[in-house]
Structure 1
Amino acid sequence: MYKTLLVDDERIILEGISRIINWNELGVNLIGTARNGLEAYDFINREQPDIVICDIKMPGMNGLELVELISKEKPFIKFIILSGFNDFNFAKQAMEFGVKHYLLKPCNEKSIVDALTHVISDLNRDAKKEQFLVDMKSRLEQVQPYVKKQLLKEFITSKNDGNQGIHFYENLLRMNFEEKFIRLVIFRIEGEYHYEHMFVIENLGEDLFSQSILSTNIGENVLFLVNEQDYHHLQLKIEKLRDIFYEIYRMDMTVAISEVDCITQVRRLYLEALECLNHRFYLGEGSIISKSDIHQDQHINNYEYDGQALCLFIKSGNLEKVESEITSFFEHLTESRLPTNLVRSYVMQLFLVIIQQSDSNKIQSYMEKMSKLIDMDTIGQMKEFFVLTAKEITQIHYDRHKSNHSVIIQKIMEMVEKNLANTDLSLKWVANKVYMNADYLGKLFKQETGQKFSSYVTQMRVNKAIEQINVMEEVKVFEIAEMIGYGDNPQYFSQVFKKLTGYSPSEYKKAN
């Protein structure tokens, strides 16, 4: 069972949470409580809990200081933060130390249980992943040529001049390394993977890279040392390997390629390829990345975006502007090539801003989604998730505005119907009656009805004229013109009528 510590300076909260949670049922053991950060820090060093549920504002050492300290000394401990609405700034800082779960006071049982369930799931997954990597490494070393694999690892990890060691392995393996100008290629499988997948990549690589010198795996990466100076030719082989692997497993891979150098520079080539691989955060999963794809511009150290424009677009219900603003925000982050942890911090800050534009009863549900956003591997994934959330909140505001607009437009239509005989009937006249700007009202009317206000009035007047023609024994154009607002200009009325119906008023009577 996972050991849990509860920390809060309010006794009633400590006792309340201690009583309402069925700890054993969740598979955790509440091993103690603490009233402040200093007391909690001593307890953690003594008892080594797996989970700490902690308030932010406490005397002595606050929760943020405790999280920062423990994240450095014992990063495996998971924190659940208790926070009030005014503590968002603290929460954003705690995020930088790996905190994923925040509960807004007052907390109910379900919120606490859900957060604990997620943390337990993370702990279980970490334990399984660690065990899986251990098992994979053991099995890999049993079935593959140990010496060659270990040799590449040694080349990569050694910081010393490797000429003497190279000569030893040249004699042992009967290979001439120093005549080779090589590249180092790293394959990273995207998604959940197993030993079988890495084994298949190595075998496919041995077949396709006929000039492969060495191969191995380090952690979740499969490495090849290849004698291939022609980049285009190498890229074609890599694409073929990825296509075959995708056809078998429906899984994609990101590939990083170093520059060309000799075997003694393998460590430098490895670090260069790793740097390329790290840019998958910006270039996206499934990319083939070389040094030429990495921007060499200096990083922008300070990036400021307060989100006011985005909040305005969300509240106005403008979906197009919201998506455009978010796209611009992420494009700027991508171009800046800032360290990924700093980019995540900026994204989280803006996420906190936009979810506060939603209804207060939905903020907690959005807060719970933050852990998913933090765990995303690429900036493209973060943008997609971000856009969906922002659009969801914007749609709510849009629907409210639309409902309000529909009431106004209905009122205007009724006003037009009652005032068809009024020669002063116009968009400006109506706008004055409803105390609105005429230009804005005209745009709103067209948005709601699909036609200009003037066209609508003309159509309504012609419809009214047709009603009168149908009940008249003899068509009197001047009378109809007065009835529908054309006053003493029956000739102009006849022209308008014929333009819309194809008949003059008299012809229309005869035809119908």
Structure 2
Amino acid sequence: MHSMWSIVLIDDDRQVLRSMKKAIPWEKLKAACAGEAMDGEEGLRLVEQTNPDIIISDIYMPVMNGLDMISELRSRGYKGKIIILSGYADFEYAIQALRLGVDDYLSKPVTVKTLEAVLNGAIHQLEEELAKEFEQEDLRKKLELYEPFVEKEWLKSLVTGTKTTGEIETFVLRHPQFTSKSHVVMGIEMVRTERVSKISDWNLFRFAVMNVIEEILQKQWTDSSYIQLHSNHAAILLRLPAEEAETQLLEQVRKIGKQIIQYVHQYLHIQLHIGLGQLKHDWIDIRLSTEEAFAALSAKSCPLSLDTEIYRYNSEEKPGQLSNKSMLRTVTFYQEMAEAVRQTQLRRARELISVFIKELAETEHTKPSYLQQIAAEVCTICKYALFETGIVMEDKTDLSEWRQEYSSIVNKDQLEQWLQGKMEWICSYGSMKDNVKHKQVMEFMLEYIHENYAQDITISNLSEKVYISRNYLSHIFRKATGETFNNYLTRVRMEKAKTLILEGKHLIYEVAEMVGYKNVPYFSTLFKKVIGVNPSELIKL
């Protein structure tokens, strides 16, 4: 928030300087005089020293005239507002001044009312420019803040294949390690033991597992990435030199996999199973390694060693075989569903469910227990996807009812019907989130304006009350009302003033004070602008 606007006055007539300094309503404009100068050269030095927000300058002055001074200031990069005040109403000078980026051109003698109105306009422009700067700075900070998150999302897409090759290529090209190295994916399954089922904060539990694993990776395999997937699954992408032989790789993976399983069990008492995809030399095939890793976890038919729960992909089976593909398809489906929920894209969610159910029908995985597990996991995914957008599902619905509902699912049609119904509920809630929040803020603001219009109300004051930035609050207000905060406040004040005048109990200066204006001429100008007639004319009507 800008605390005080600075203005410099430049004129070779000391009497004009004195009159302007006296006439400008400094307090009302929330402005201060940063200095005075009596010629263009002195004015240049003053502006260089003080860098004011607004310059009011004469044109004809000794040593250096106003236009030359402005030209020099603009060439030095001065971006403030410039108001020309001249005794010569000469069209040529006005044209020249406009070319130099002058904001207003006033002819002497200028009335106090005109000077105040022009300064008000300049300050309003400065406020809008400042708000835009804050908005850009805020956006830059947000981008910095969210960059690591965005990187993780791209990495997740690369591993699960939820984006096209063309979409993902931009991300890959920014990271040379994807094009210069080989890759292998480890699928992580957190086993649903009795202990795990008792954990109330599932998210906290997943992050605890991630922290333990990332600590091991930092020491043992730095060129790696841990990727959180849905509910009880995650993936580890291991990168290694392109010339690495698969036999050497298997031994390295066995060691680190065993260490991960042991440490997670030791520190968190959580049991993990690991599936291992095949080595891929091209980044495009990373998603296939993920598919193979989760197929290995699903089948559990090819243990890497007898002393630990690590399973290799059975390469004797055809890679595209549906029975093995089903688990990876489920992983991808969960990721896409989470994204649809976060973006509140109901149509997208419906399409995903429809396609997934069709693919599910072509596999052997249609046992009621498996269908109920999918419903439970989608419920968990939606819960955390909504939580990321600021909605706590338990506050909006009874999840025990959801559990009762999906516990009775026995076929894929019932699963599809249940999923579609829940998505409609979830997405409608998500899309309402901002609107509900904004509606509450707007109700508060409008009520506050109508109750306190006689006070010195600003958008900055209100932004502190509702804990929303001034810039964003201005945006919400304009979007909801179709006008700026200041215009709306003025309109409320003028409508109230109209009512008071028509009552006939108060004098005009009393009405002006009652609606927040001490300056009666300024009040009258605004009144005519909003109502269409002067206050005195309204009395006669």
TM-score for both structures, normalised by structure 1? 0.30
What TM-score do the two structures reach when normalised by structure 2? 0.29
